Structure 1
Amino acid sequence: MKRLLSRFLAVPLAFILTLSCSEEQDFNQFDDLTVTPTVASSIFYLESTEEMINAVPTFPVFYSQEFSFNPFNEQFVADHLLDGMLLYELENTTSKQLTLTIEFMDDANTVLDTETFTIEPEPAPLLTREVAYGPGGKNLDILTNTTRLRVSGQNLGDNTSVSPIADPTIIFRSAGEFRFRLQ
């Protein structure tokens, strides 16, 4: 008798549960979704000893290098870039006053933007700079059209002096933070 009663109640109970737990699904919610991730990355790192700066035969230029920079070469990425911030840090423990320059170039070797940094000899404080691109900053097209960076360093001092600090170096680092709209 119990078995018959439980079978008799199981069918209506299952039917009631399926009706009570289901609701019409809205698959158009994705259209309302806005995602803006921030992507951070190191861009370049330059380190040079004072000994190398003094030994370079192309005085006053002690460093010059051009390298590819095309994180925005995909059209989807370039079209969805909202803004960016480039962060620079320059540390000098050498006896040299130095100038470092970054040139942002496009495919035709046109210089789109230039950042120049001059730092005093040691004891120079850590030099930091943040450069904004996008609303409230430089034109965002500079980033999206840049395909190469040229980094150069110039010794504004002499090529014989030596810092009294052990292992005197120049360290130049750069990183970027970029925000994208994915929808």
Structure 2
Amino acid sequence: MKKAGTYLWIAITFLSLLSCMEDQDFNQYDDLSVTPTYEASVLYLEVPENTINDITGPDTYSQNFNFDAFSENIFADRVLEGVLTYQVENTTSKPLEIEVQFLDEAGTVLDTEQFLLDPEPTGVVIREIAYGPAGRNLDIIRNTSSLLVAATNLGDNTSTSSQPDPMVTLKSSGKFMVRIK
């Protein structure tokens, strides 16, 4: 009886293994496409009105920011499309022009985004710029090595805003789809 039970157990185990077997398709990996979307901050600047008032001579201030994140091969070779979002707010008493330039390693301007801001009170200016098939050339992003931000005071150097802590604020973030596989 014990021997028959063992044979029965082996037969059931063998049949259950056969009933669950299916041909494996190891070529599925070739058909797999992994394209997550990544979002990150790109630039954040705050300039108080008293700093703007302290600028003498040409009323333009500029600063170059090294930004190799876009041009790194791990990103540049795999980015498919994306959107840069800018949020700009001016609570100063001055009309301002702000320009953001995308530069390659040689300092060549690849793209420019310009903002003309009225003096306070103004709302937050939100602008989204698409790159890729539905927007600007994706090579702009792939070849960007630095960002140049220039601000021009189109007003005077003496007035003061009635707002608490008057300043101009520039925020930008990027949201990009990247091919992993």
* TM range, smaller chain: over 0.9
Post-superposition Cα deviations, 1:14-55, rounded to whole Å, max 9, x if no partner, equal: 111121122221111011111221111100101011111112
What does residue 46 of structure 1 align with?
Answer: 45
Secondary structure in 2 matching 1:136? coil
Percent identity over paired residues: 49
For 1:156 and 1:22, how far apart are their aligned partners in 2? 76
Residue number in structure 1 paired with 2:118? 120
Give deviations 1:64-119, integer Å, cap 9, x for gaps: 21111122333343222111211101111110101111111111111111111110
* Farther off after superposition, 74-83 or 128-137: 74-83
Shift of 1:168: 0.9
Correspondence for 1:140 among 138, 152, 160: 138
Judging changes above 3 Å, is the alpha-carbon distance between structure 1 residues 94 and 34 closer, same or farther for their aligned structure 2 residues? same
Gaps of 5+ in 2: none
What is aligned with 1:74?
A: 72
Q: What is the TM-score with the length of structure 2 in the denominator?
A: 0.93
Following superposition of structure 1 onto structure 2, how do residues 12-161 of structure 1 map, counting pairs within 5 Å? 12-61=11-60, 63-161=61-159
One-letter amino acid of the counterpart of residue 42, structure 1: S
User: Please, what is the CA RMSD of the aligned residues?
Assistant: 1.5
Q: Give the structure-1-normalised TM-score.
A: 0.92
Contact 1:59–1:159 (CA<8 Å) still a contact in 2?
no
* 1: CA distance, partners of 2:22 / 2:134: 46
Structure 1 residues not aligned, in runs of 5+: none
Shift of 1:169: 1.3
- Are residues 167 and 76 of structure 1, via their aligned partners in 2, closer, same or farther at CA, if it must alter by over 3 Å? closer
- In the TM superposition, structure 1's runs of 4+ consecutive aligned residues that sit over 6 Å from their partners are none
Residue identity opposite 1:90 in structure 2: V
Paired residues, number: 181
